[in-house]
Amino acid sequence: MKSTIIAALSITALCFGKVVSTENNEMDKESLGKLLFSDPILSKDYTISCASCHKPEFAFADTSAVSLGVGGKKGARNTPTAMNLSLSKSFFWDGRAATLEEQVLKPIENPDEMDLSVAVAIERLSNNSLYRDYFKKVFNAAPTKENLAGAIAAFERTLETSDSPFDNWKFSDDSLAVSAEARAGFVVFNGKGNCVKCHFGADLTANEFRNIGLFNAKNLRDSGRAVISGNASDIGKFKTSSLRNVAITAPYMHNGMFKTLEEVVDFYNDTKQFVADAVNKDSLLMEPLGLTAKEKSDLVAFLRSLTDKRFSL
């Protein structure tokens, strides 16, 4: 199992970029990253932070189809979870960032999100006496683009989970950790449902890009990975998400079009019922799965068993 690392810092208050003390004045790279992750000092008008869209209580995902940036601007895609990313090989739905350090800076500068140049962000941090002190303690240097990215990325790497009922069943031999329905759902997941073909490994993701049938060049026009790669074969492909804590990261898909796990399972059971004219769809989804109502219900029970115990359902 993966080890779970929890940042030790306890933050007492954050308000419009003004940092108000930390418990026992503790500070390390992860703790500094946690502080920055929750501080609106990194947005143009001091109104939002990384945590505004990556909500801790929802496994660092958002609860709306697309998040709102500064000035109420709508984002283009659903905000994915920021948890369980330490094994990822690329970031964002289209994989446009190769490292977490690269990933954390892009929302800051995105005009539809935090809308602040990194240069201005560094200036703000440098002008803040507490942040100057914290960066000096952690990096023995003033705030820079590199150590800003390094601190937030270090915090995000602590957001690993491995204490779900499923983990306790499979890795601790606790047969009572999950229900009979969840165990049956695991069989569906690995068999008739074909889920394991794309969702496997420690975080139940192959870190690949797949077209699941949500591009038709009409009402579904987000071409995904193709914008980054320039390859026509990547049209409609998006990163396969981790399934850890999936029960609390609704809504689902890159556009947030499904509100429940039941809707997601119905979609995969027969994608043609949702998008009959999908372009470039993965061959694994060409034919209906033919899941029964009981199999679909069991599969949802299994997916819910992937929720870490720190979250309540």
pLDDT of residue 175: 83
pLDDT of residue 312: 74
My answer on whether 152 and 169 are in the same domain is no
In a domain, 3, yes or no: no
CATH number of the CATH domain containing 170: 1.10.760.10
Burial degree of 189 (CB within 10 A; 0-12, 13-18, 19+): buried
My answer on whether 24 and 94 are in the same domain is yes
Q: What value does the mean pLDDT take over residues 67-73? A: 96
- pLDDT above 50 (res 29): yes
22 vs 16 pLDDT, higher one: 22
My answer on whether 118 and 249 are in the same domain is no
In a domain, 310, yes or no: no
Query: How many CB atoms neighbour CB 151 within 10 A?
Result: 27
My answer on whether 226 and 105 are in the same domain is no
My answer on whether 192 and 269 are in the same domain is yes
- pLDDT above 50 (res 8): no
Q: What value does the mean pLDDT take over residues 164-187? A: 94
Lowest mean pLDDT among 164-173, 189-198, 226-235: 164-173
3-state SS, 141-199, equals CCCCHHHHHHHHHHHHCCCCCCCCHHHHHHHCCCCCCCCHHHHHHHHHHHCCCCHHHCC
Of 127, 156, 185, the last residue of a domain is 156
My answer on whether 197 and 293 are in the same domain is yes
pLDDT of residue 299: 98
pLDDT digits (tens, 9 = 90+) for 243-272: 999 999 999 999 999 999 999 999 999 999
Domain that holds residue 114: 14-156
Q: What value does the mean pLDDT take over residues 221-235? A: 97
Q: Determine the residue type at 27.
A: M
Lowest mean pLDDT among 3-7, 133-137, 175-179, 256-260: 3-7
> Could you tell me the pLDDT band of residue 25, with boundaries at 50, 70 and 90?
low
In a domain, 4, yes or no: no
pLDDT of residue 136: 97
pLDDT digits (tens, 9 = 90+) for 148-158: 999 999 999 99
Alpha carbon separation from 229 to 14, 220, 235, 241 (Å, rounded): 39, 19, 9, 19
- pLDDT above 80 (res 295): yes
Averaged pLDDT of the chain: 92
Helices (H) then strands (E): counts for the chain: 11, 4
Of 156, 190, 207, the last residue of a domain is 156
In a domain, 1, yes or no: no
**Structural domain count, the chain:** 2
My answer on whether 49 and 115 are in the same domain is yes
pTM value? 0.90
pLDDT of residue 7: 26
Is 95 within 8 Å of 103 (Cβ atoms)? no
My answer on whether 204 and 296 are in the same domain is yes
Of 122, 156, 190, the last residue of a domain is 156
My answer on whether 30 and 104 are in the same domain is yes
My answer on whether 172 and 140 are in the same domain is no
In a domain, 312, yes or no: no
Measured CA to CA, the distance from residue 49 to residue 53 in angstroms comes to: 8
- pLDDT above 60 (res 12): no
Q: What value does the mean pLDDT take over residues 191-217? A: 96
My answer on whether 107 and 190 are in the same domain is no
pLDDT cut 70: percent of the chain above it? 92
In a domain, 139, yes or no: yes
My answer on whether 208 and 115 are in the same domain is no
